[in-house]
């Protein structure tokens, strides 16, 4: 327990935020620094074939210790943290024997975390929790996954009586900006199937993701001195607000759950001359996903018909697709993970991923990759926390999967 905790607390000290604006891979230098540090650690604990690619992908091998042929399984986690909130100068705090009440994250700034707002906190009464200090995210997404994988590999090396086949591990950059699989060499990785250790609460097991697209909408205006603007000025921000209001107000993340999709306005900036809107579009059903994209195009055409052709432009591209269609032919790998959890006294919770995962793209690249819990909650913000017991359970499940692969 101490070793996996120390690993995690050390990992979160490294600022590895990704940045979609650099057009580099990895997108930030600190991710490459972290990759090299992890590679050194993997060599030190005794893994073989340790390498860091030019794009910042860390891979390594735990050789088989069983003469019986077994499939090669992979375990994958991502190194970057979300650009949505700072991951610099993370100061994790440990709340021992959580009593079910409000947790003060930062007394000076009057920042607290309450089960009134986050009822899932009550699932962890009596446990030790790692929280933020209220000024940064924590980084459990996905440094908890990395800590669980590395510690599982070290544990199996120290306990050769645990028989297993060849195991491959990989730590990827830039998952948070949708580029985690861009330079992943599936053939060189050489696994028959894999698991991302990148989920939330204990027991989560996911093999369905959204179909996902991103869109940039540019609204063009005309700036004229307001004193002489009559029938001349066109305010791009007002045009943009019209476009925003054409999206059904309940078809958004804050009004959707389970298998419901959404349109999400993630960023906007504007002036009279030009306003840009950044959207992500999500749906589990492929037909509805295509309909959502068509609706965006239809709204652009409607406003261009009203304001003049070229007033609004849209650039839209698909990001990933629901990996269910690639996992269903090999559902035994989902059943294997479920059995591993049961063997570790964990109730499996098969859920759809309401977000992205490297596993979605890897599955379409020929590496079926469901997603397993890493234990963290409330990712990407100051209310992120990680029960220490959940981190240990993620490690135990990895070890048990390795044993069960036959």
The catalytic residues are: 80, 175
Q: What is the 3-state secondary structure (H, E, C) of 82-146?
A: CCCCCCCCCCCEEECCCCCCCEEEECCCCEEECCCCCHHHHHHCCCCEEECCCCCCCCHHHHHHH
Question: What Cα–Cα distance (Å) separates residue 113 from each residue in 139, 143, 190, 400?
Answer: 17, 22, 43, 34
Distance CA 57, CA 74 (A): 14
Backbone phi, psi, residue 345, to 5°:
60, 40
- Whether the CB-CB separation of 279 and 261 falls below 8 Å is answered with no
Distance CA 389, CA 372 (A): 16
Question: What Cα–Cα distance (Å) separates residue 366 from each residue in 41, 174, 189, 350, 359?
Answer: 29, 20, 11, 22, 10
* CB-based contacts of 300, cutoff 8 Å, min separation 6: 217, 243, 312, 313, 314
């Amino acid at each position: 327990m101490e070793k996996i905790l120390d690993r995690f607390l050390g990992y979160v000290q490294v600022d590895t935020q990704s940045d979609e604006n650099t057009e580099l891979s990895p997108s930030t230098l600190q991710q490459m620094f972290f990759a090299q540090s992890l590679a050194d650690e993997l060599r030190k604990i005794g893994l073989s074939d340790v390498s860091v690619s030019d794009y910042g992908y860390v891979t390594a091998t735990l050789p088989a210790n069983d003469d019986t042929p077994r499939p090669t399984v992979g375990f994958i986690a991502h190194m970057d943290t979300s650009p949505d909130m700072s991951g610099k100068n993370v100061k994790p705090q440990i709340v021992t024997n959580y009593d079910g009440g409000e947790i003060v994250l930062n007394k000076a700034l009057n920042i607290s975390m309450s089960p009134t707002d986050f009822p899932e906190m009550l699932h962890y009464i009596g446990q030790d929790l790692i929280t933020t200090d209220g000024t940064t995210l924590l980084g459990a997404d996905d440094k908890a996954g990395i800590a669980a994988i590395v510690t599982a590999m070290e544990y199996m090396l120290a306990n050769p009586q645990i028989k297993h086949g060849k195991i491959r591990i990989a730590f990827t950059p830039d998952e948070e900006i949708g580029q985690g699989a861009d330079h992943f060499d599936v053939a060189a990785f050489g696994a028959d199937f894999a698991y991302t250790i990148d989920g939330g609460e204990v027991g989560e097991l996911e093999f369905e993701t959204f179909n996902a697209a991103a869109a940039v909408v540019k609204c063009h205006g005309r700036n004229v001195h307001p004193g002489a603007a009559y029938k001349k000025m066109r305010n791009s921000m007002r045009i943009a607000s019209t476009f925003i209001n054409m999206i059904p107000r309940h078809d958004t993340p804050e009004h959707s759950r389970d298998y419901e999709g959404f349109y999400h306005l993630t960023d906007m900036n504007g002036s009279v001359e030009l306003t840009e809107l950044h959207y992500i579009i999500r749906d589990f059903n492929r037909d509805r996903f295509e309909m959502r994209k068509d609706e965006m195009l239809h709204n652009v055409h409607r406003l261009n018909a009203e304001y003049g052709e070229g007033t609004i432009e849209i650039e839209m591209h698909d990001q990933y697709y629901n990996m269910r269609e690639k996992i269903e032919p090999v559902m035994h790998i989902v059943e294997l993970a479920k059995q591993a959890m049961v063997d570790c006294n964990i109730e499996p919770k098969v859920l759809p991923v309401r977000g992205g995962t490297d596993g979605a793209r890897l599955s379409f690249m020929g590496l079926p990759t469901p997603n397993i819990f890493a234990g963290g909650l409330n990712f990407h913000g100051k209310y992120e926390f990680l029960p220490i017991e959940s981190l240990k359970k993620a490690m135990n499940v990895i070890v048990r999967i390795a044993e069960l692969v036959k």
